[in-house]
Amino acid sequence: MSRYSRQISVKSVGPRGHSRVRNGSVEIYGHGLDSQICALYLAGAGVGTISCHSKVIDQVRAINSEVETLEIAEDSTDFRAVCRKETFRSKKTNELGRGSQVARDVIACFLREQ
């Protein structure tokens, strides 16, 4: 069974949507648990290139060695993700909620592409 089979099985994703995710790139700022969770979900989804803080990069590589990683020099604790010129944030009350919400929004952004 493939690494992404569960994601491709989702009706609103499918092979085309998954291909868009695989071609996507995202920058994740911050290095707290919310940033880590966001990066891990996006790495798990197979996003092509993830730029993040050096403290997060090893975790991304450990969960998905297929993802290209780039290091972001900015040492900001302000968690946010940027892709397709959009910036995503979340007001969820816990770190898992914030990281998941932003990762969900980034994937939705990729899926919206024509």
Partner 1 sequence: MDDSVLVVGAGGLGAPGLLQLAHAGIRKFGIIDPDRLELSNLHRQILYTEADIGAPKAECAKNHLLRRFPGIEVHVSVEAFTKNHESMLDEFDLVIEGTDQMETKMLVSDLCIDTNTPYVFAGVVGTEGQVLAVRPNISACLRCLFDEAPPPGATPRCEDLGVIGPIAGLVAAEQVRRGLALLDHDETVLNKLWTYDGVRAREREIRLPKMSDCRGCGSRIALRGWITTKRSQTVDDEISRAKELSVENEVCPQTYVHTKRALDELLPGEMLWVMIGSDESARNVPVSAMAAGYHLLSKTFDGRVHRLLFQRPKINEDDNV
Query: What is d(CA 30, CA 80) in angstroms, rounded to the nearest whole number?
Result: 7
Tell me if 113 contacts partner 1 by CB under 8 A: no
Q: Which of 20, 24, 35, 41 binds partner 1 (CB under 8 A)?
A: 41
Among residue numbers 51 through 110, which ones bind partner 1 (CB under 8 A)? 62-65, 92-97, 99-101, 103-105, 107-108
Interacting residue with partner 1 among 6, 55, 84, 112 (CB under 8 A): 6
Distance CA 59, CA 89 (A): 21
Number of residues written out for the chain? 114
Q: Any contact of residue 15 with partner 1 (CB under 8 A)?
A: no
Task: Give whichever of 10 and 70 is closer to partner 1, judged by the CB atom.
Answer: 10
Contact residues for 56 (Cβ-Cβ < 8 A; gap 6+): 28, 31, 35, 36, 39
Residue of 36, 31, 34 lying closest to 97 (CA atoms): 34
Determine if 40 is a binding residue for partner 1 (CB under 8 A). Answer: yes
| Helix-strand-coil split of the chain, %, nearest 5 | 45, 20, 35
Q: Does 3 bind partner 1 (CB under 8 A)?
A: yes
Could you list the residues that contact partner 1 (CB under 8 A)? 1-13, 33, 37, 40-41, 44-46, 62-65, 92-97, 99-101, 103-105, 107-108
